């Protein structure tokens, strides 16, 4: 069964959140494995763009999708991140490209200094293709940008300090990996987030408000 946030499956919540970004296409990338059939069928039923590719070679999945959509840049948002920061995505898109020449000035950019669930990364399709031609290590094929990040002499990379955190919530998980995470995310949403148009500071304030709910804070 697809996990639900605020009544919506996680995949659709993340998709709707990403629609706030100023970009040409928002699509779900999933595998051709039977285990992802339910997600694929749900996306088709909801008319959510979805692209399928190899289960174990996620790097190739991204390259193939980039070719299909004729992309120059790809923003990668993990499907477990309903609170991804969309403002920083817009900012990174602008920083990645020379707006006058419309050519890439960086191969890769991500934000740091934040809870994992706010994080995203932008990479050029050309950089992904170079990585795919260069390596066949299973971990590099599984973790799409790992080869690029670990080879900074071969790629132009930049890490943008976002400072999207606050005292008392630095160790809180706002990615959805376990049932406990889903419970916290739903508590945060019910505590003051409406729809999909909210800021990361709104999320942090809501986390602070619910952090003493039993199970989320060990303080007396």
Spell out the domains of the chain, with CATH numbers in brackets: 4-210 (3.90.550.10)
Residue range 177-203: mean pLDDT, rounded: 87
Give the pair of three-digit tokens for residue 32: 């051709």
Q: Which of 91, 106, 206, 211 is nearest to 156 (CA)?
A: 106
pLDDT tens digits for 80-118?
999 999 999 999 998 887 655 566 689 999 999 888 899
pLDDT over threshold 50, residue 220: no
Query: What pairs with residue 157 in β-bridges?
Result: 108
Give the rounded percent of residues in the chain with a pLDDT score beyond 70: 90
Give the pair of three-digit tokens for residue 93: 């898109």
What contacts 127, CB < 8 A, 6 or more positions away? 107, 108, 148, 155
Residue range 54-82: mean pLDDT, rounded: 96
Q: Report how far apart, in Å, the C-alpha atoms of 38 and of each of 2, 43, 64, 182 are.
A: 8, 9, 22, 19
pLDDT tier for residue 214 given thresholds of 50, 70 and 90 = very low
pLDDT over threshold 70, residue 28: yes
Give the pair of three-digit tokens for residue 142: 């599984």
108 near 152, Cβ under 8 Å? no
CA atoms of 42 and 47, how far apart (whole Å): 8
Give the pair of three-digit tokens for residue 79: 């499907």
Distance in Å from the first CA to the final CA of the chain: 36
For the entire predicted model, the pTM comes to: 0.90
Q: What is the mean pLDDT of the chain?
A: 89
What contacts 82, CB < 8 A, 6 or more positions away? 5, 10, 13, 14, 17, 117, 174, 176, 185
């Amino acid at each position: 069964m697809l996990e639900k946030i605020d009544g919506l499956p996680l995949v659709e919540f993340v998709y709707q959140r990403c629609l706030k970004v100023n970009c040409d296409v928002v699509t779900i990338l999933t595998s051709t494995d039977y285990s992802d059939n339910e997600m694929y069928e749900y996306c088709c039923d909801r008319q959510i763009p979805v692209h399928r590719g190899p289960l174990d070679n996620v790097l190739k999945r991204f390259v193939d999708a980039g070719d299909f959509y004729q992309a120059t840049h790809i923003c990668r948002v993990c499907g477990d991140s309903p609170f991804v920061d969309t403002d920083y995505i817009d900012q990174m898109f602008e920083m990645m490209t020379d707006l006058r020449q419309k050519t890439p000035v960086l191969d890769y950019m991500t934000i740091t200094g934040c809870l994992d669930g706010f994080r995203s990364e932008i990479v050029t399709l050309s950089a992904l293709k170079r990585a795919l031609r260069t390596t066949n290590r299973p971990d590099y094929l599984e973790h799409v940008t790992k080869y690029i990040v670990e080879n900074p002499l071969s790629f132009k990379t930049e890490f943008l300090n976002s400072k999207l955190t606050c005292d008392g919530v630095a160790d809180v998980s706002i990615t959805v990996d376990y049932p406990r995470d889903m419970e916290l995310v739903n508590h945060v949403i019910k505590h003051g987030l409406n729809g999909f148009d909210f800021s990361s500071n709104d999320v942090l304030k809501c986390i602070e408000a619910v952090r003493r709910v039993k199970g989320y804070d060990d303080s007396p």
